[in-house]
Structure 1
Amino acid sequence: MDHHEVLIVGGGNAGISLAARLIRDGAQDVAIAESESVHRYRPMLNYVGGGEATMDDLERPAASVMPDDATWIQDRVVSCDPGGPSVTTRDGRTIGCTTLVVATGLDEDWDAIPGLKAGYAAGWAGSTFLVESSPKVWPALRDLTRGRVVFSMPPEPAPCAATALKPLSMACDHWQQEGVLEDIDVHLVLPGPTPLGVPRADAILEGVLAAYGVQVLRNARVTGAGARQVTVTTPDGEIVLDDLTYAHVIPTYRAPTWIADSGLAGDSEAGLVDVDPLTLRHRRHDAVWSLGDVANLGIKPSGGALRKQVAVLSPNILAKDTDELEQYDGYTVMPITVARHRLMLVEIDREGQPAPTVPFPDLVQPRRMTWVVDRYALPVTYFKRILRGKV
């Protein structure tokens, strides 16, 4: 059986940036289990779906982003023995380790919205959250002059759920500029009473939605789809939105099933890894850690949150004295466009209180410059510094 000091399951932002940071911090034997041959800067998918980027802007060969001193296990983990700890891969390999880190991200739970996957296949539904679907979203929305369109924000857990508002605002701004917005019936399905649950940001977003004439269904979820229609469950009962021109409906998410099957999940309905949200260590298995979307950290997951998590987790894994571990404050960030080229940056802590990284300017106020940073500067920073453990 192969054995590594640190085995990271998942080669996305969380896994790669943590591996690079561990190696920079002195770890000698780090392995990454990742089956995909292409690595993607996933926040850019929203810009692809808004006509502001292409897939070439966000994709790189996985081999080009793997840390030079890490071992790449190009296989998919399908089960785990946390007591070992060890994992078993799709190809039947068993790999042991001293420290196991779960950084898989989340899987789409298509069964939670019956009929939605068929809607994607038929082309009248899709979303910027999926690699295969994102390039098809803008061609479907760009030339609309009338009709009914529904957008949804997924319930937590989800990979930066708030960014589901990006394609809505970019499309509405485009339709407004084309003079057709008044002829398009736009609906938004929100899982909560407000977009974010952050009062000042919500006030701005509510004004934006009202200005675009968006009809908002609150405390609601899409629970079914079929024949160009979606069923929305609200506190007052079910609503059917039919005769849809397009549905930008994002699937529900959950952790890979092997996590719950291996006993790593707690009481999370979505099967998230049961970790201490401060130290990121598993509550019952001291050799197991987790970060990112798949970890039950009590926050709204985001790529920006990972930078803080990596900065805590790397020293904690390497710590000699486990009684004095670093603690993660729950920082997360939600970048949301309010128009094609204007963006607000909402930074909060675990309690939902403002946690700005700079004292000025006020990044919650939508600005063109913030959009430029999100669209152009951050992707460069991601590939040149974040994935190399330098941020």
Structure 2
Amino acid sequence: MPPAALTPPHHHVVIVGGGTAGITVAARLRRAGVRDITLLEPSETHWYQPLWTLVGGGQAPLRASLRTEADVMPPGVRWLRERAAAVDPAARTVTTGSGRVLSYGRLVLAPGLRLDWDGVPGLATALGHDGVTSNYRPDLAPHTWELIRRMRRGTAVFTMPSGPVKCGGAPQKIAYLAADHWRKRGVLDAIRIILVLPEPAMFKVPVFSQALEETARRYGIEVRLRSEMTALDGAKRTAVITDHATGTDETVSYDLLHAVPPQRAPEWLADGPLADPGSPYGYVRADRETLQHPDFPQIFALGDVASLPTSKTGAAIRKQAPVVVANLLSGLRGRPATARYDGYTSCPLVTARHKMLLAEFDYDLRPTPSIPLIDTTRERTDMWFLKRYGLPQLYFKGMLKGRA
């Protein structure tokens, strides 16, 4: 007779992902006294990604965004340096890339998203060569600054794909930082700037959309709404821009192109039973308030991988993590989930060197300012310093420690 199947090791809580969301939840659970926590994360490096825009704009060194994963791992959390490969929600198990099977009481999904560089024909092969760059890769963010710094004339194109992306303001911010640099160098009039955005407006919240429209006018930026880059020829330095409103294509020659790739859930989730059937990008279905999977309440999703109608930002995670932890603890104690997430998110919109708007809003796109007596709908120098110096400190010493 064949030997009996081995029972997989059981853990009260398994967390998939050691980025912002996973580490923040783990730290909060440890502070609440939960002892049996296992976290899956294959990377040895932890990045504070919001700084990459400033790196690309020449305003911060890349090293300021870097920590080792060991440095940010909460004490007492069992760290498995493996990648998740599958979830069986009925059996309550997670299978890793090496074939290891873990049983869980509660599962937190926070693996982030997948940058689909192949989603635009020609982009993957052109990236990093002949004027093509992206701040969405840490090794290329310094290259972005080199391209901006060396440019004196020609055409610069900045693109954003359709669909949800992490830090939805980042595709615009680097265009403004570049334009501000060129203005100060006295070469802005010799550079044509094209900003390609898939949305019908520059921002979903009208007051911030109006401010960004004025910013674009100030720099003379050509804004193409309802449009996206659909093909790229790196050898010829040409990009195809498709206007979705009219269905027409335009081929644009460029000297510098900053591309943001299409973004999707990791394939093992997108192709699995937890994906939101209403999302073509494979993000995990989650109740918009409790952040639990509607069919499997023992599973929580937050951060970039969650299919929620809000922007994918670190500020959103800062509000989501306490809700996940509170509802997870309630479940462990046999109580109903009562904590609620209102969709709060925040997009720091850098518009120039030392100038920034702070867009804070909820599910209903209502402005929800968190700093009293300060009008964050206007460009402010203090908000830039908050982004450059204050928020990284809040992140490493507050969020990742479970304190903020």
TM-score bracket for the superposition, by shorter chain length: over 0.9
Match of 2:270 in 1: 260
CA contact (8 A) 1:146 1:180 kept: yes
Q: What per-residue deviation string (whole Å, max 9, x for no partner) do you get for residues 23-82 of structure 1?
A: 111212111100010101010111111111112111011101000111111111111111
Unaligned segments of structure 2, at least 5 residues: 1-7
Unaligned segments of structure 1, at least 5 residues: none
TM-score by length of 1: 0.97
Stretches of 4+ aligned residues off by more than 6 angstroms: none
Letter in 2 for 1:305: A
Question: 1:121: Cα distance to partner?
Answer: 4.2
Separation (CA, whole Å) in 2 of partners of 1:260 and 1:237: 29
- Residue 233, structure 1, aligned to residue 242, structure 2: yes
Match of 2:92 in 1: 85
Separation (CA, whole Å) in 2 of partners of 1:350 and 1:291: 15
Question: 1:324: Cα distance to partner?
Answer: 4.3
Separation (CA, whole Å) in 2 of partners of 1:26 and 1:147: 59
CA contact (8 A) 2:130 2:237 kept: no
Query: Does 319-328 or 12-21 show the bigger shift?
Result: 319-328
Of the three residues 364, 368, 384, the one matched with 2:381 is 368
Of the three residues 384, 391, 394, the one matched with 1:378 is 391
Question: 1:132: Cα distance to partner?
Answer: 2.6
Q: What per-residue deviation string (whole Å, max 9, x for no partner) do you get for residues 157-189 of structure 1?
A: 111111222211111000001110010010001
Q: What per-residue deviation string (whole Å, max 9, x for no partner) do you get for residues 102-132 of structure 1?
A: 1011101233211111110424212111223
Letter in 2 for 1:54: P
Task: Map 1:130-279 onto structure 2 (within 5 A).
Answer: 130-226=137-233, 227-234=236-243, 235-267=245-277, 268-279=279-290
What is the percentage of aligned positions where both structures have the same residue? 38
Q: What's the secondary structure of 2:285's corresponding residue?
A: coil
CA contact (8 A) 2:290 2:337 kept: no
Match of 1:312 in 2: 323
CA contact (8 A) 1:155 1:161 kept: no
Match of 1:114 in 2: 121
Letter in 2 for 1:56: R
CA contact (8 A) 2:239 2:253 kept: no
- Residue 388, structure 1, aligned to residue 370, structure 2: no
Instruction: Give the RMSD, CA atoms, in angstroms.
Output: 1.3
Q: What's the secondary structure of 1:161's corresponding residue?
A: coil
Aligned length: 391
Q: What's the secondary structure of 1:371's corresponding residue?
A: helix
Query: Does 123-132 or 203-212 show the bigger shift?
Result: 123-132
Separation (CA, whole Å) in 2 of partners of 1:121 and 1:379: 27
Separation (CA, whole Å) in 2 of partners of 1:271 and 1:309: 20
Letter in 2 for 1:340: R
Separation (CA, whole Å) in 2 of partners of 1:61 and 1:371: 26
Question: 1:155: Cα distance to partner?
Answer: 2.9
- Residue 65, structure 1, aligned to residue 72, structure 2: yes
- Residue 98, structure 1, aligned to residue 105, structure 2: yes
Pair 123,80 (structure 1): closer, same or farther in 2 beyond 3 Å: farther
Query: Does 335-344 or 218-227 show the bigger shift?
Result: 218-227
Question: 1:237: Cα distance to partner?
Answer: 2.5
Question: 1:153: Cα distance to partner?
Answer: 2.6
Pair 71,139 (structure 1): closer, same or farther in 2 beyond 3 Å: same
Separation (CA, whole Å) in 2 of partners of 1:125 and 1:136: 9
CA contact (8 A) 1:114 1:223 kept: yes
Question: 1:322: Cα distance to partner?
Answer: 4.3
- Residue 297, structure 1, aligned to residue 304, structure 2: no
- Residue 328, structure 1, aligned to residue 341, structure 2: yes
- Residue 286, structure 1, aligned to residue 277, structure 2: no
TM-score by length of 2: 0.94
Separation (CA, whole Å) in 2 of partners of 1:270 and 1:377: 33
Question: 1:94: Cα distance to partner?
Answer: 1.3
- Residue 125, structure 1, aligned to residue 135, structure 2: no
Letter in 1 for 2:137: L
CA contact (8 A) 1:2 1:95 kept: yes
Q: What's the secondary structure of 1:87's corresponding residue?
A: strand
Query: Does 172-181 or 159-168 show the bigger shift?
Result: 159-168
CA contact (8 A) 1:78 1:258 kept: yes
